[in-house]
Amino acid sequence: MAVSAIFAAVMSSVSDSAFTSYEPTVAPVAATHIGSPRRFFIETYGCQMNFNDSEIIASVLSAEGFQLTTDCQQADVVLLNTCSIRENAEQRVRARLSEFQSLKRHNPGVLVGILGCMAERLKAKLLEEEHIVDLVVGPDAYRSLPQLIARAESGQKAVNVLLSREETYADISPVRLASNGVTAFISIMRGCNNMCSFCVVPFTRGRERSRPPASILSEARQLFDSGYREVTLLGQNVDSYRWEDPATHAVVTFAQLLDQVASVHSELRIRFSTSHPKDITDDVLSVMADHPNICRNIHLPVQSGSSAVLQRMFRTYDADWYRRKVDRIREYLPDCAISTDIIVGFCGETEDDHRQTLEMMDYVRYHQAFMFRYSERPGTYAARHFPDDVPDAVKSRRLQEVIQLQNAHQLQRNREQIGKIHHVLVEGPSRRSPQQLAGRNSQNQMIVFDARQALKGRYVQVKAVSCTSATLIGTLCPEPTKHLND
Ligand code: 5AD
Ligand code: SF4
């Protein structure tokens, strides 16, 4: 994990099995070199959206006859699906590119592609800055990847960074990569219309657009039928989901979509991310309350506990408003966990502003938090109008304080669970020991326990007996439960 992006807890980098029913809308490209299929290697940086995009990319290429390889030495095409959110995310990609220099020296025919947010932000400039790069492909241009590869093979550099107002890749069934066979992502919308002053995403991912509900529901059903038991609905701002039927003009909101996905099967768990505090509605909370299979966990990025900082961030709420939103969630869903994102050291942040962030954390006692030092991003409103004036040492110290407090809250929260029985979806072996299984409760707390491996993908009851700040340690109760609400 990069220095300025220290995560208090590790999000599951889930994904899964394989079915590809993609009808190419692009002219087919012969994907064989004198009989042997060409191989592509893909490495993903950044958020869950990006991981899901890599699964779409794998689907587009597989449909054209390319074969996935997990060994970059074997690849004909090496793709990096990149992130621009903080400077260090881009530095990691550039460092990786310099490692690929030797790969290209040994095999001059290998093509190197930069995909995703960094491609969109830097466009053709990337070709000048990084000579090793042959392809630059933005997040809305993945359908054209086979043609771009063909062009690069003919010795020309290939760039497509066109953003779209419509593209949702709705008809593409992702090829599940690094699958645990139990949990999967489903993208429900793309882009972001919020212009938070610190954020580069609206520039790299374009305007919001929602995917038709029928394709989302069919993906959820297919996943359930192939053994998956949890889906996470993904979008930069899921509560802005809004789909209008072109024929009837009937509108489907996020609350309605959530209700429909939760009705696919009572044993399919639903999570969603990310919610902007200004957009999550009572309707969404009420649908959650109606469906025990919608997990009791809302990711509600606060960014700062200071109203003055929130105003400069263009977050459109202040600290009191956010606290009232948290109260509202707890009225509807008393057992709901809340997780968050926090940025320390934003432009002009004073010690008093920072203290207010710590106070907000004390108020909410987040179950999980992703905590970052502010990183100025070229082109954003903040970069153009506010000096990045909090010294590095101060940012680091504030980040440490936020992390320490978060760890203390997580430890408290986990201790409160000791002695209680949890409904756990088993995801697979724990990372520490093959004798142990790991899974999550509805609140997204990780629980490890001794058990035989055959329980993977099943719901079980586990009694928590001890904990660390990151994990509950439990013992399996004798009778596995079949139903979430047993
Ligand atoms: N610097 C630091 N963190 C950032 N984030 C977004 N932009 C920046 C930036 N310029 C964080 C926010 C957001 C999360 C995905 O990344 O907290 O919610
Ligand atoms: Fe994801 Fe944001 Fe990074 Fe783009 S910039 S890959 S949307 S985290």
Co-location of 379 and 442 in the same domain: no
- The mean of the pLDDT values for the chain is 91
> Residue 355: inside a domain, yes or no?
yes
pLDDT at 125 over 70: yes
Co-location of 127 and 244 in the same domain: no
- The pLDDT value given to residue 257: 98
* Mean pLDDT in residue range 85-91: 97
Alpha carbon 353 to its chain centroid, in Å, reads: 28
pLDDT at 26 over 60: no
Domain count, the chain: 4
Co-location of 316 and 443 in the same domain: no
Backbone torsions φ then ψ of 416, nearest 5 degrees: -65, -20
The DSSP result for 330-352, as a single string, is HHH-TT-EEEEEEEES-TT--HH
> Residue 54: inside a domain, yes or no?
yes
Q: Place 363 in a pLDDT band, splitting at 50, 70 and 90.
A: very high
Binding site membership of 204 for ligand 1 (Cβ less than 6 Å): no
Q: Place 452 in a pLDDT band, splitting at 50, 70 and 90.
A: confident
What CATH number is associated with residue 272? 3.30.750.210
Contact partners, residue 200, CB within 8 Å, separation at least 6? 84, 85, 117, 121, 377, 378, 379, 380
Co-location of 380 and 259 in the same domain: no
> Residue 385: inside a domain, yes or no?
yes
157-182 tens-digit pLDDT: 999 999 999 999 999 999 999 889 99
Q: Place 7 in a pLDDT band, splitting at 50, 70 and 90.
A: very low
Co-location of 364 and 443 in the same domain: no
Cis peptide before 183 (omega within 30 of 0): no
> Residue 50: inside a domain, yes or no?
yes
What CATH number is associated with residue 448? 2.40.50
Co-location of 76 and 29 in the same domain: yes
> Residue 167: inside a domain, yes or no?
no
> Residue 11: inside a domain, yes or no?
no
Which amino acid, residue 224?
A: F
pLDDT at 415 over 90: yes
Co-location of 25 and 144 in the same domain: yes
Co-location of 155 and 273 in the same domain: no
Alpha helices per DSSP H over 64-168: 87-106, 117-122, 125-129, 145-153
What CATH number is associated with residue 25? 3.40.50.12160
- The pLDDT value given to residue 248: 95
- Domain stop point among 416, 445, 461: 416
**279: nearest Cα among 249, 255, 244:** 255
What CATH number is associated with residue 324? 3.30.750.200
> Residue 322: inside a domain, yes or no?
yes
**218: nearest Cα among 186, 266, 176, 179:** 186
Binding site membership of 198 for ligand 1 (Cβ less than 6 Å): yes
Atom 6, ligand 2: residue with shortest CA distance: 83
Question: Nearest bound ligand to CA 117?
Answer: 2
Q: Ligand 2 site: residues with CB under 6 angstroms?
A: 46-47, 49-50, 83-85, 116-117, 201, 204-205
Long-range contacts of 211-218 (CB under 8 A, 24+ apart): 211/168, 211/169, 211/170, 211/187, 211/243, 212/168, 212/170, 212/243, 213/243, 213/252, 213/256, 213/257, 213/260, 215/170, 215/171, 216/186, 216/188, 216/257, 216/261, 217/260, 217/261, 217/264
Co-location of 46 and 151 in the same domain: yes
How many angstroms separate the CA atoms of 323 and 99, rounded? 47
- Domain stop point among 396, 416, 436: 416
Q: How far is the CA of 372 from the centre of ligand 1 (A)?
A: 7
- The pLDDT value given to residue 349: 98
> Residue 461: inside a domain, yes or no?
yes
- The domain of 113 spans 18-160
How many angstroms separate the CA atoms of 448 and 411, rounded? 16
Between 3 and 125, where is the model more confident? 125
Task: Report the nearest atom of ligand 2 relative to the CA of 236.
Answer: 7
* Mean pLDDT in residue range 112-137: 97
Co-location of 120 and 150 in the same domain: yes
**116: nearest Cα among 203, 238, 20, 231:** 203
* Mean pLDDT in residue range 451-472: 93
213-243 tens-digit pLDDT: 999 999 999 999 999 999 999 999 999 999 9
Backbone torsions φ then ψ of 286, nearest 5 degrees: -70, -40
Q: How far is the CA of 451 from the centre of ligand 1 (A)?
A: 39
Binding site membership of 343 for ligand 1 (Cβ less than 6 Å): yes
Tokens in use for 160?
């497509």
- Domain stop point among 387, 416, 445: 416
Co-location of 288 and 320 in the same domain: no
* Mean pLDDT in residue range 318-342: 98
Query: How far is the CA of 212 from the CAs of 228, 241, 274, in angstroms?
Result: 21, 10, 19
Binding site membership of 303 for ligand 1 (Cβ less than 6 Å): yes
Whole-prediction pTM value? 0.91
The DSSP result for 279-334, as a single string, is T--HHHHHHHHH-TTB-SEEE---B-S-HHHHHHTT-S--HHHHHHHHHHHHHH-T
Co-location of 429 and 411 in the same domain: no
Q: How far is the CA of 343 from the centre of ligand 1 (A)?
A: 6
How many angstroms separate the CA atoms of 98 and 306, rounded? 41
CB of 343 closer than 8 Å to CB of 303: yes
